[in-house]
Amino acid sequence: MSKLDAKILIVDDDQDVLLAAKLFLKQHIKIVHTEIDPENIPGLLKNENYDVILLDMNFTREATSGKEGFHWLNTILGIDPAAVIIFITGYGDIELAVQGIKEGATNFLLKPWDNRKLLATITANLKVRQSKKELEELRGKHKALISAIDQSYGTMIGESQAMQKVLKIAYKVAVTDANILILGENGTGKELLARAIHRASQRKDEVFVSVDLGAISETLFESELFGFKKGAFTDAKEDRAGRFEAASKGTIFLDEIGNLSLSLQSKLLSVLQNRTITRLGSNKVIPIDVRLICATNMPLYHMVNENKFRQDLLYRINTVEVTIPPLRERFEDIPLLLEHFLRKYCKKYKMGMKRLSPSTLKRFEKHNWPGNIRELQHAVERAVIMSESNILEASDFFLSQIEEEKPNELHTNNLNLKVTEKILIRKVIEKHGGNISKAAKELGLTRASLYRRIEKYGL
């Protein structure tokens, strides 16, 4: 019979107990260490990783309180929170042993023990140790994945007074669990700020779930956000958690919240008020523990006055409100942003470091940046790829001219907003040869938002 590939430690003040246990267990387990003095436990744990530790509850002669056992239980768990500890106790101390399990022990064993019972208890608890190790590995991978995803978004860049004011508010509120509403035009970095707040919060080691509400249809809203049970609808082949459950213990970021219809606003408000969700096809109420951050580029306060956005929902989501200024109001940050994106894309495309000519920088300072930082970022990436020179000139950059166009330049005398929007969208799509991604970037929209408008206007 092969031995179990495990390492165990037995700590007891009775030398006879240690000798008998070791002689028996060595037949079944690869490594068995014994220790008579509990004071040596920290040193042993510093040098070894034990799969199971058998720990006596009383070490002083005539002691029966179990106080020493609890002390060393806490010491071990302080060193190794995933430790699997089996208390060794006399029959009269069963209540103490049960209390020990409540405080972190995995099991207890009565003296004198039957050898078969001893081996069975250790074998069962080896599985517990394996489960704990796997859980710790998953947690480690989870944190590494969160860190990797987060790093791909970078950090907020800006030394202007306007941006320093934004960052001061953001980091001050980050350490609380207050709901935050981020306002700003498309391309200003609302999700980037939301992620920065999450990184500075007490939930930083948990997941950050981003939800583009503008890309979720009304029919899929509940199933996407609240989840569903198998059979709840035709394609529900299995149980699935929604975005709120997925964000448990972490942060949920609801982008484009201004796009929600009044009926969906009502459903969201109910969840935020009760802090519970119910999956589609189920009656079971599930509590949620999430940090809420919302964002929009829409004028919510005007929408409230026009009865297009619920006032009670607005009050619920904007405990603290942060407005990110557009790039045209923080021109002094442009050199910093340019250097950042130049380094990023020169490294990404394995090119030597490029720099801007003085005239290019002056051209950038005159540009109105309707697409904000997103427009600047894509302009730099394109220039890095296309230019064959290490000095980038203004002609190497494609800059949007939307802000310079007037209604009559769009070939219409109709000043109706919907008509003008339709013509503008058609013009930009034609300009990019039908490339929706490029058209969406220039318009400052997401692909999903542009597709909805295309469908709306029958383009």
H-assigned helices in 175-310: 190-199, 221-226, 243-246, 262-274, 300-305
> Which tokens go with 71?
């002390």
**Range(s) for CATH 1.10.8.60 in the chain?**
328-402
Ramachandran class of 66: left when φ > 0, alpha when ψ lies in -120 to 50, beta otherwise: left
Q: Which pLDDT score, from 0 to 100, does residue 409 have? A: 46
pLDDT digits (tens, 9 = 90+) for 62-110: 555 678 888 899 999 999 888 899 988 876 567 777 888 888 888 888 8
**CATH architecture for residues 153-325:** 3-Layer(aba) Sandwich (3.40)
Cα separation, 229 vs 250, in Å, equals: 23
pTM: 0.61
Q: Which pLDDT score, from 0 to 100, does residue 107 have? A: 85
Pair 86, 105: CB distance under 8 Å = yes
Q: Which pLDDT score, from 0 to 100, does residue 455 have? A: 76
Q: Which residues contact 442 (CB under 8 A, 6 or more apart)?
A: 371, 375, 400, 402, 428, 431, 432
**Range(s) for CATH 3.40.50.2300 in the chain?**
4-135
Q: Which pLDDT score, from 0 to 100, does residue 149 have? A: 54
Cα distances (angstroms) measured from residue 455 to each of 52, 63, 76, 193, 448: 63, 80, 63, 31, 11
CATH, domain range 4-135? 3.40.50.2300
Pair 459, 425: CB distance under 8 Å = yes
**Range(s) for CATH 3.40.50.300 in the chain?**
153-325
CATH, domain range 406-457? 1.10.10
> Which tokens go with 266?
């009502």
Q: Which pLDDT score, from 0 to 100, does residue 408 have? A: 41
Q: Which residues of the chain have pLDDT under 50?
A: 402-409, 411
**Range(s) for CATH 1.10.10 in the chain?**
406-457
CATH, domain range 328-402? 1.10.8.60
pLDDT digits (tens, 9 = 90+) for 251-304: 999 999 999 999 999 999 999 999 999 999 999 999 999 999 999 999 999 999
> Which tokens go with 174?
């980050």
Q: Which pLDDT score, from 0 to 100, does residue 368 have? A: 87
4, β-bridge pairs: 29
Cα separation, 424 vs 403, in Å, equals: 11
Q: Which pLDDT score, from 0 to 100, does residue 92 have? A: 59
